[in-house]
């Protein structure tokens, strides 16, 4: 933590990421809770989640190109400002007692469209800040997951308590303050603005994206990981956005119980992030990733055997958060160490876009599954899919490249 706090630029970048994540975690609890409690229809919640995933796909693809063109700092501030406006619009509608499913869908589709570029932009500033502070990228990733875990811990607990005490409108107003704080933090970051010989035209945008695709084709690890990462997103996205909220709502649990459950997972994320930052070099990266994915599948199977709000479920949520932070930290470490700085936005957006697409399609399927079967059965399906992914990761030869020496990323 001393390594994190001392370099101000790195601390500002990571803090902005975490504050923005905090705001999005609050919204991520409010929206499915709002839809499920007002309509009681899991299929509608799944449809909204699908639309949000498609918007995230478009936003991340656009955001990667724009970030590499005008810089992560500018894109981050613009994206958080627009996200603030969408949260404020929904809060105002609810404040005056007006609820409409289509309006919720429109505001959230716009919100995640802006969140995608904002997330890509903030991520693109991490490697340079870590390099300037002489912080190893694996440690920076562990510390990032630690702060992200703190934000993910505070977000759902805050949302659950505020919904119970003041309602959904006041809870959304809190997110507007958080987005303002993220803008203020990013405004303090001083990074060189990118320069380009060619103007940003539609043809140039296609050429920029083609360069990122070509890089992934030639990169022996990241290119193949593009086939596996989206499958993980097909499980992770619906669990947080749909399956767990439905498990609690249909289990007759209140918003505070859901907040505590998600908060326990975030505390586990903090522990997992600190552990990875401290000990990432002691075990092969492949062992970290395969082991964490396997344990995540086991935890999902364990939740199938528990009831929402119970102490065993909270303990399993803690364990899930711990291994999930490792599942994120390992691929991000490989991504940052293998990708040239000038391609970070575009390459990151391609991976995030695939994850958004798979998450959107899976959310639609899980909405149907929740409507026709039950939330525990959906958890069991998640466990089976993640277990299959763990077996595939253990068997695929390209995973050995995780621990192979890598050369410095070559400029595009």
Q: Does residue 257 contact residue 317 with C-beta atoms inside 8 Å?
A: no
Instruction: Report d(CA 404, CA 396) in Å as an integer.
Output: 15
Instruction: Report d(CA 371, CA 373) in Å as an integer.
Output: 6
Instruction: Report d(CA 234, CA 46) in Å as an integer.
Output: 13
Instruction: Report d(CA 207, CA 407) in Å as an integer.
Output: 25
pLDDT at 412: 43
Which one, of 133, 152, 136, lies nearest residue 24 by Cα?
152
Sequence-ordered alpha helix ranges (H) in 96-132: 101-132
Q: Name residue, tokens 């990667």.
A: 64
Which one, of 200, 178, 182, lies nearest residue 78 by Cα?
182
pLDDT at 380: 92
Tokens of 51: 């639309």
Which residues, 6 or more positions from 391, have their beta carbon under 8 angstroms from its beta carbon? none
Instruction: Report d(CA 156, CA 406) in Å as an integer.
Output: 39
| Three-class DSSP category at 108 | helix
pLDDT at 294: 95
pLDDT at 152: 65
- The residue ranges of the chain whose pLDDT is under 50 are 407-412
pLDDT at 298: 95
Instruction: Report d(CA 164, CA 397) in Å as an integer.
Output: 50
| Three-class DSSP category at 134 | coil
Q: Does residue 323 contact residue 402 with C-beta atoms inside 8 Å?
A: no
pLDDT at 201: 61
Sign of CA dihedral 303, 304, 309, 310: negative
Instruction: Report d(CA 252, CA 42) in Å as an integer.
Output: 14
pLDDT, one tens digit per residue, over 110-139 is 887 877 777 777 777 777 777 777 777 767
pTM of this structure? 0.68
pLDDT at 410: 43
Tokens of 266: 């975030």
């Amino acid at each position: 933590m001393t390594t994190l706090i001392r370099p101000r630029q790195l601390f500002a970048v990571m803090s902005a990421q975490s504050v923005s994540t905090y705001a999005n975690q609050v919204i991520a609890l409010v929206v499915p809770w709002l839809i499920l409690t007002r309509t009681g229809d899991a299929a509608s919640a799944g449809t909204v989640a699908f639309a949000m995933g498609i918007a995230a796909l478009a936003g991340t693809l656009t955001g990667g190109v724009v970030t590499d063109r005008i810089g992560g700092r500018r894109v981050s501030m613009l994206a958080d400002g627009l996200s603030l406006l969408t949260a404020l619009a929904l809060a105002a509608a609810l404040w005056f007692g007006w609820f409409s499913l289509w309006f919720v869908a429109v505001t959230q589709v716009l919100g995640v469209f802006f969140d995608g570029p904002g997330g890509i932009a903030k991520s693109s500033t991490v490697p340079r800040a870590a390099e300037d502070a002489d912080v190893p990228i694996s440690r920076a990733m562990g510390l990032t997951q630690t702060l992200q875990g703190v934000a993910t811990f505070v977000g759902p607990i805050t949302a659950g308590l505020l919904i119970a005490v003041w309602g959904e409108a006041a809870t959304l107003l809190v997110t507007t303050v958080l987005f303002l704080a993220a803008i203020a933090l990013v405004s303090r970051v001083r990074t060189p603005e990118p320069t380009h010989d060619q103007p940003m035209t539609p043809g140039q945008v296609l050429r920029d994206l083609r360069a990122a695709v070509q890089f992934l084709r030639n990169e022996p690890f990241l290119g193949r990981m593009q086939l596996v990462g989206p499958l993980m997103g097909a499980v992770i996205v619906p669990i947080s956005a749909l399956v767990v909220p439905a498990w609690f709502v249909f289990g007759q649990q209140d918003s505070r119980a859901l907040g505590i459950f998600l908060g326990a997972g975030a505390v586990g994320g903090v522990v997992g992030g600190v552990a990875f930052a401290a000990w990432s070099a002691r075990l092969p990266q492949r062992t970290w990733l395969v082991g964490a994915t396997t344990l995540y599948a086991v935890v999902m199977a364990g939740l199938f055997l528990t009831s929402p709000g119970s102490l065993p479920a909270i303990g399993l949520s803690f364990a899930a958060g711990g291994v999930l932070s490792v599942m994120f930290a390992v691929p991000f470490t490989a991504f940052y160490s293998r990708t040239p700085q000038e391609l970070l936005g575009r390459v990151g957006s391609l991976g995030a876009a695939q994850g958004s697409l798979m998450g959107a399609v899976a959310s639609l399927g899980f909405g149907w599954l929740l409507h026709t079967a039950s939330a525990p059965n959906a958890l069991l399906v998640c466990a089976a899919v993640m277990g299959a992914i763990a077996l595939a990761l253990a068997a695929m030869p390209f995973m050995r490249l995780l621990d192979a020496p890598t050369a410095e990323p070559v400029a595009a």
